[in-house]
Amino acid sequence: MPKPVAELQALAKVIRRDIIEMIGTAGSGHPGGSLSAVEILVELYFDFMRIDPKNPKWPDRDRFILSKGHACPVLYSVMAEAGFCPKDQLNTLRKLGSIYQGHPDIRFLPSLEASTGSLGEGLSLGLGMGLADRLDGRRCRTYVLLGDGEIQEGQVWESAMSGAFHKVDNVVAIVDYNRIQLDGFVHDIMEVKPLADKWRAFGWHTLEIDGHDFASIRKALDEAQATKGQPTCIVAHTVKGKGVSFMENNPKFHGTAPTPAEMELALKELQ
Amino acid sequence: MPARTKYELKPGPATREAFGHALVQIGRENPAVVVCDADLSKSTMTAFFAKEFPDRFFSYGIAEANMVAQAAGMAYAGKVPFASSFSAFAVNKGFEQLRVCVAYPRANVKVVGTHSGISIGEDGPSQMSVEETSLACSLPGFVVMAPADEASTKALVRAAAAYRGPVFIRTGRPKAPLIYNGGRRFEIGKAIELVEGSDVTIIANGLMVAEAIRASDALDQEGVSVRVLDMHTVKPLDREAVRRAAAETGAIVTAEEHMVDGGMGVRVAQLVAETQPCAMEFIGIRDTYAESGKPEELLDKYGLIARDVVAAVRRVLGRKRH
C-alpha cells in the first residue's frame, strides 16, 4: 500500500530542514541539488524500495546509487530518517572522521551502495549490479539518480547504450532535471536538450514527470517496474533549491552553504 | 656450489593466450567469475571464455570507462569480474573508473591488459602500453603483476581470482619462451630466484625475464656470477628478495618492457634506498614513444634485449663498491 502523500510531504519538510542545518553547520556543501531531489529520495526510501534498515546488506534489497554524489546531504538525511545510520551525527557532515563525508564514501558509511562524487560513473555501477542480480536470479531493482549537468559526461552515454543493449530492465535512471549546474544554467554551460529524446534514442523507456509530485513519482516508478526488456529513464523536472525561496533557481546555491542568517531564514520558511 | 640452473627457453604461447585459457579453467571452477571485454575479445583471448560461458560474458563495445565501472558494480553485487582490453585502453581510458569505482572502495575487480609494452609491433605507439604499470601502481591497494610465460601467467591469473581485492595483470602479444616447467609455486608478491648468483642481480619481469636469463648465461661464460629474479609482482614488491639482492650481490640491474619512470625498477630503487643502498642500472623505455616495426626490431632498437642487459651489468659492476 502506498504511503499517504501527506505523510511523505511531512517527511520531505524534515529532510529539507536537515539539509539546511547540515550544510549550514558544515559551512560548505551543495544545498541546491540536494533540495531538488528530496521528493525523489523520500518516495524511494519511505514508500517504494524494498529495503530493511536493520539488514542493510540484505541480498534481495533494492539499491539506490546517488551518482550526483555532491547531493549527499539529502541521501544522508533520508537514510538517517529511515534508520540506516545515526541522525544525531548528521551535523558532523564534512568534519574529519565523520561517517558523513563530503561525497558518499562507502568506507565510512557501509550501508551506502557505492562511493560516488566523480560524475558520470553511477549508472555504470548500477547497471553492473543489475546484471549481477539478473545472473543470480535476484528480484531486486537498482535506482540511479543523475544530475542534468552530470549527463554531459561521456561515460553516461556509454552506460546508457549498454543498458539498452543488455536489456537491463531492473535498473532505473532518474535524471534530476533542475537546469542549473556549478557555473550557471545548464543551457549556458552545455545544453542537454532534448534530454528525454536522447534517452529514447539510446533505447530507454523514457518518462517525464514533475519531480516534486509524489503521486507522479510513484506512478513512474510503477511503470518502470512493469517495463520489461528495456531499462527506464525517468526525467524528473525539478526546481534547484526547492523549498527555500532565495535558493530556488539560484545558481549561487549549487555549491554554497547558507550563512548563519540565511540558515535561520531558510529554517523559518521550512517550518 | 650447486650446478648453475640452465634454461632451454623453448618457444611457448603468448601470455595473453595463457590468460585466455586460464580464464576458462577458473570459470569452470568458480561460477561467480564473469568476464567483460571492449571489442577485443579475439585479441585478449577472452573469446575462449565467451564461447564456453556466453551468459557470463559481457560485451561493452569500445567503451572502456563504462566497462571498468560496470565490472565494479558486478563486484559489489558478489561477482568476481575480469575486465580485459589492451593495457593501453583498459588502464588509460578506464583510469578514472579504476580510481573511484575500483581502488577507492577496494572493489574485487581484476583487470587484465594484453598487448603491453612495445612488443605488439606494427600497430605502433597508440596501441602500445608503456605507462600503465606506473598508473596501476599509483592506485592505493592495487596488486600489479607482469608474468613472464605461460605457466606463471596461468598461476598468477588463478591467484588473482582467489585474492580478494583489485588486481591488474599485464600480459603481452608475442609468443613468450617457456621458463617454468611445472612444480613451481607462484605467490602474489613473492619473487622467484631463477638463477643463483653472487656478483650482481638482474631483477626482471614480463618478457625481459627471458632476456635476463640469456644475459646471465653470457656473463657466466665470462665468470660473472649473476642472480636472476623474476619480479612478477610489481606491487606489493618482494621487500625481502630486494633487500637480499642488494646486501648479498651489491649491484642490481632492473629490466622491464615499460617506461623506466614509475616502473618496476624505480620501485625496486626505492626499496634499495630504504634498506641497503647499492649501485643500480635500469633497463626500460627512456622517456619516449616507440614506432611501428617487427617486435624483435623494436626490442633491439629500444634497448630491450639480452645485449642491453649485459651492457648494464658491466656498467653496474664498474660502479659497485668492493
Per-residue pLDDT tens digits for B23-75: 999 999 999 999 999 999 999 999 999 999 999 999 999 999 999 999 999 99
Q: How far apart are CA B195 and CA B5, in angstroms?
A: 6
Name chain A contacts of B75, Cβ cutoff 8 Å.
128
pLDDT digits (tens, 9 = 90+) for B162-195: 999 999 999 999 999 999 987 899 999 999 999 9
Please compute the mean of the pLDDT values over residues B145-167 and round it to a whole number. Answer: 98
Catalytic residue among B64, B132, B256, B257: B64
Per-residue pLDDT at B197: 97
The residues, ordered by sequence, that sit 6+ positions from B80 with a Cβ below 8 Å of its Cβ are B30, B32, B33, B34, B108, B110, B161
CB-CB: which of A105, A114, A166 is closest to B58? A166
Cβ B66–A126 below 8 Å, yes or no? no
Contact A132 B71 (CB under 8 A): no
B56 with B131, same domain: the answer is yes
**Which superfamily does A5-269 belong to?**
Thiamin diphosphate (ThDP)-binding fold, Pyr/PP domains (3.40.50.970)
Contacts B97 to A, Cβ<8 Å:
121, 124, 155
- Which chain A residues touch B99 with a CB distance below 8 Å? 118
pLDDT recorded at residue B165: 98
Encode burial over A218-246: b for 16+ CB neighbours within 10 A, e otherwise: bebbeebeeeeebbbbbbbbbbbbbbbee
Residue B186, in any domain of the structure: no
C-alpha separations of A258 from A69, A183, A254 in Å: 19, 18, 11
Q: Indicate whether B240 pLDDT > 80.
A: yes
pLDDT given at position B2: 58
Structural domain harbouring B302: 192-319
Cα radius of gyration rounded to whole Å, chain A: 17
Same domain, B163 and B206: no
Asked if residue B144 and residue B31 are part of one domain, the reply reads yes
Q: Taking CB atoms and an 8 Å cutoff, what residues of chain A touch B34?
A: 132, 135
> How does DSSP assign A67-84, residue by residue?
SSGGGHHHHHHHHHHHTS
- Cell numbers placing B178: 617457456
DSSP A250: -
Contact yes or no for B66 and A107 at CB 8 A: no
User: How many of the other CB atoms lie within 10 Å of CB of B164?
Assistant: 10
Mean residue pLDDT of chain B comes to 97
pLDDT at B182: 77
Is residue A146 classed as helix, strand or coil in its secondary structure? strand
B102 and B138 inside one domain: yes
The nearest CA of chain B is from the CA of A20 a distance in Å of: 28
Note whether residue B252 is domain-resident.
Answer: yes
Last residue of a domain, one of B118, B137, B170: B170
Report the sign of the C-alpha dihedral through residues B319, B275, B190, B19, in that order.
Answer: negative
Nearest-by-Cβ selection for A132 from B66, B79, B100: B79
pLDDT single digits (tens) A166-190: 999 999 999 999 999 999 999 999 9
Is B119 domain-assigned? yes
> CATH number of the domain that B55 lies in?
3.40.50.970
Task: Decide if pLDDT at B322 tops 80.
Answer: no
Test A135 with B78 for CB contact under 8 angstroms.
no
| In a domain? residue B55 | yes
Helix (H) or strand (E) holding A151: none
Instruction: Tell me, letter by letter, the H, E, C secondary structure of B128-183.
Output: CECCHHHHHHCCCCCEEECCCCHHHHHHHHHHHHHCCCCEEEECCCCECCCCCCCC
Give pLDDT tens digits for B121-145.
999 999 999 999 999 999 999 999 9
What's the total number of domains in chain B? Answer: 2
Which residues on chain B place their C-beta less than 8 Å from a C-beta of chain A? 34, 55-56, 58, 60-61, 63, 65-66, 69-79, 81, 96-97, 99-101, 104-105
State which of B116, B140, B170 marks the end of a domain.
Answer: B170
User: pLDDT at position B72, please?
Assistant: 98
Question: Are B151 and B226 members of one domain?
Answer: no
Measure A119 CA to nearest chain B CA, in Å.
10
- The residue type of A198 is K
In a domain, B177, yes or no: no
> Which CATH number goes with the domain that contains B271?
3.40.50.920
One domain for residues B290 and B197: yes
- Closest to B6 measured CA to CA, from B213, B231, B215, B253: B213
In a domain, B268, yes or no: yes
Is B28 within the bounds of a domain?
yes
Q: Verify whether residue B132 is a known catalytic residue.
A: no
Say what the pLDDT of residue B183 is.
Answer: 80
The answer as to whether B4 is a domain residue is no
CB B108 within 8 A of CB B153: no
Q: Taking the domains of chain A in order of start, what are their residue ranges?
A: 5-269
pLDDT one digit per residue (tens) for chain A, 271 residues: 789 999 999 999 999 999 999 999 999 999 999 999 999 999 999 999 999 999 999 999 999 999 999 999 999 999 999 999 999 999 999 999 999 999 999 999 999 999 999 999 999 999 999 999 999 999 999 999 999 999 999 999 999 999 999 999 999 999 999 999 999 999 999 999 999 999 999 999 999 999 999 999 999 999 999 999 999 999 999 999 999 999 999 999 999 999 999 999 999 999 9
Q: Are residues B212 and B157 in the same domain?
A: no
A5: left (phi over 0), alpha (psi -120 to 50) or beta: alpha
